[in-house]
């Protein structure tokens, strides 16, 4: 009887081992599947853009599980070594091609999604973590063109659509791409130039995409109502065929146009003219100038946090802080330098929901690159001394 008990225990132990081996194998397969990343470049070369495919349909039509926003896997263990490891703890992405738009990948801005302007790749990364491309676009990266900016669909966790402002061989345009598909045009015919291509995208609501365009090196085009250059455009049609002309919300913008906004809906625009750099607020009557820089520090981007507007500069390599205007105090105070010449030439900047910010460098295009350039850097803004009550 004792021998029979032993055999039964041994058989039960064997079944438990088989169960855990099978379960472990399933988990490993699931992790491997979730960690995969589609490469769009081959499809962009081999297929032409037609109607949107089924993976652009609604969640109910697709019957697929919602996917999270782009993220980078955890990377536990000791810090890695190598030429692309930056000793600065605030640097969270390194060895990028010259950058375009940037966004925070999480509330604390410890991960990022950043556009490589000259390669057309959209990269997600974190400090010490692997970098991976979540999308790739065929672009003309000459001058200041290429993958200029991007915006995730307001329902990205369901549809995984990415919108992008890109430069092609013939124009600047807005496109959108779905996983496994090719980029499809949303808005075409934005003038392209040797310079003045940089613009911005921002979803003001789930059904309205704002598109800021540069003047393509032609200031007269920015004032021409029939041209899409130098404008703030409202796009509400997202089909892959011919869409209605976008509504023009504002005109007269110059080069390197960037957008930023606060939580109450105020919209700011920074740009560079031939005589000065500017920060403006978009009002119902049109853009209103808040501040100008006659010395032309090459304003590159703006972001808003806790009643302050932060502006990055390329030539003077600074982050400047200005107090937001209010109804009681419409005049803003002179800019204050809050970071200077620590990371070289600066590009776009963005705020996160926690108040932490990310900015990207543009040293490969406009500065003196170091071994880890170009980079994305986490920045904690100083508290404002202004009384906002």
Q: For residue 187, is it within any domain?
A: yes
Q: What is the pLDDT of residue 222?
A: 97
Give CA–CA dist 364/370, Å, rounded.
9
* pLDDT averaged per 10 residues in sequence order, the chain, 389 residues: 46 42 36 35 36 35 43 60 94 98 97 98 95 97 97 96 98 96 96 98 98 98 97 94 91 98 96 98 95 98 97 98 92 94 98 96 97 98 62
- Name the 3-class secondary structure at 148: strand
Q: What is the pLDDT of residue 71?
A: 56
Q: What is the pLDDT of residue 270?
A: 98
Write out the residue range of the structural domain in which residue 135 sits.
91-293
Give CA–CA dist 220/210, Å, rounded.
22
Phi, psi (5° rounding) for residue 363?
-65, -30
Alpha helices in the chain (DSSP H): 2-35, 41-46, 59-62, 156-159, 219-223, 363-366
Structurally, how many domains does the chain consist of?
1
Find, among 41, 14, 127, the residue nearest to 377 by Cα.
127
Q: For residue 49, is it within any domain?
A: no
Q: For residue 138, is it within any domain?
A: yes
CATH no. for residue 200? 2.120.10.30
Torsion of CA 249, 138, 52, 246, to 10 degrees: 10
Q: For residue 319, is it within any domain?
A: no
Q: 95: left (phi > 0), else alpha (psi -120 to 50), else beta?
A: left
Q: For residue 257, is it within any domain?
A: yes
Contact between 270 and 232 under an 8 Å Cβ cutoff? The reply is no
Q: For residue 116, is it within any domain?
A: yes
Give CA–CA dist 132/27, Å, rounded.
22
Read off the DSSP letter of residue 26: H
Model's pTM, two decimal places? Answer: 0.81
Contact between 356 and 108 under an 8 Å Cβ cutoff? The reply is yes
Q: For residue 343, is it within any domain?
A: no
Q: For residue 46, is it within any domain?
A: no
The number of C-alpha atoms within 13 Å of 320 and in the hemisphere containing its C-beta is 26
């Amino acid at each position: 009887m004792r021998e029979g008990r032993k055999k039964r225990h041994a058989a039960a132990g064997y079944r438990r081992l088989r169960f855990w081996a099978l379960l472990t194998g399933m988990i490993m397969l699931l992790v491997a599947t979730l960690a995969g990343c589609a490469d769009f470049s081959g499809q962009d070369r081999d297929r032409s853009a037609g109607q949107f495919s089924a993976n652009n349909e609604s969640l109910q039509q697709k019957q697929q599980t919602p996917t999270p926003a782009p993220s980078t896997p955890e990377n536990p263990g000791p810090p890695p070594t190598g030429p692309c490891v930056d000793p600065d703890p605030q640097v969270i992405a390194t060895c990028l091609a010259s950058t375009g738009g940037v966004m925070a990948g999480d509330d604390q801005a410890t991960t990022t999604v950043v556009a490589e302007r000259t390669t057309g790749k959209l990269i997600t990364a974190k400090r010490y973590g692997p970098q991976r491309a979540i999308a790739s676009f065929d672009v003309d990266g000459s001058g200041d063109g290429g993958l200029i900016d991007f915006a995730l669909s307001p329902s990205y966790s369901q549809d995984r659509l990415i919108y992008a402002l890109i430069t092609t061989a013939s124009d600047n345009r807005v496109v959108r791409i779905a996983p496994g598909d090719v980029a499809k045009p949303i808005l075409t015919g934005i003038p392209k130039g040797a310079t003045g291509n940089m613009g911005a995208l921002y979803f003001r609501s789930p059904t309205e995409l704002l598109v800021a365009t540069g003047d393509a090196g032609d200031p007269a085009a920015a004032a021409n109502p029939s041209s899409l250059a130098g404008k703030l455009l409202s796009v509400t049609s997202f089909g892959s065929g011919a869409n209605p002309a976008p509504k023009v919300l504002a005109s007269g913008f110059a080069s390197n146009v960037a957008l930023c906004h606060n939580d109450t809906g105020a919209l700011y625009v920074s740009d560079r003219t031939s005589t000065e750099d500017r920060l403006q607020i978009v009002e119902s009557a049109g853009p209103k100038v808040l501040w100008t820089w006659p010395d032309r520090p090459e304003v590159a981007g703006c972001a808003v946090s806790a009643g302050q507007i932060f502006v990055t500069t390329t030539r003077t390599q600074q982050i400047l802080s200005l107090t937001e205007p209010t109804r009681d105090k419409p005049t803003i105070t002179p800019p204050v330098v809050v970071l200077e010449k620590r990371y070289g030439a600066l590009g776009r900047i963005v705020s996160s929901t926690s108040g932490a910010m990310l900015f990207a460098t543009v040293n490969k295009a406009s500065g003196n690159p170091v071994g880890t350039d170009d980079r994305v850097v986490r920045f904690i803004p100083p508290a404002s001394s202004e009384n906002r009550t």
